[in-house]
Amino acid sequence: MILTAIALMVAAQEPSVPSFPMPADGERHKVVYKGDTFKIERSGDQIAVERMRKAFRNNNGPAVRLLIKEVAREASGCDLRDEYFTFYTFTLEATLVCPKAEGQS
């Protein structure tokens, strides 16, 4: 019981990952997230996220896919649906499923 209380206190002190909402203006925006640079383009309920390439770096592994999905969720504040990674640029393209704002039905 004491260990649970300590674990909850430690978890409450961890800083949360800041969100960086991207406007849905159809323009490309650069953002740095966890030391990597990404290009994000959001238009309506569509989003495209591309990790900037660096020499001698694996840009298409499973861990990179998860990171790109995380960036898309943070930038939009929405869940992803119909996710697709292009094979030649390894850009995530997805449809956004955003929660309804309070007061809307």
77 dihedral zone (left: phi>0; alpha: psi -120 to 50; beta): left
Sheet (strand 79-85) strand order = 25-33, 36-43, 46-51, 92-97, 79-85
What are the structural domain ranges in the chain? Answer: 23-97
Task: For the chain, give the percent of residues with pLDDT over 70.
Answer: 76
Helix (H, G, I), strand (E, B) or coil at 70: helix
Burial class (CB in 10 A: 0-12, 13-18, 19+), 29: middle
What is the rounded average pLDDT of the residues 26-52? 91
Of the two residues 16 and 103, the one the predictor is more confident about is: 103
Q: What is the reported pLDDT for 56?
A: 72
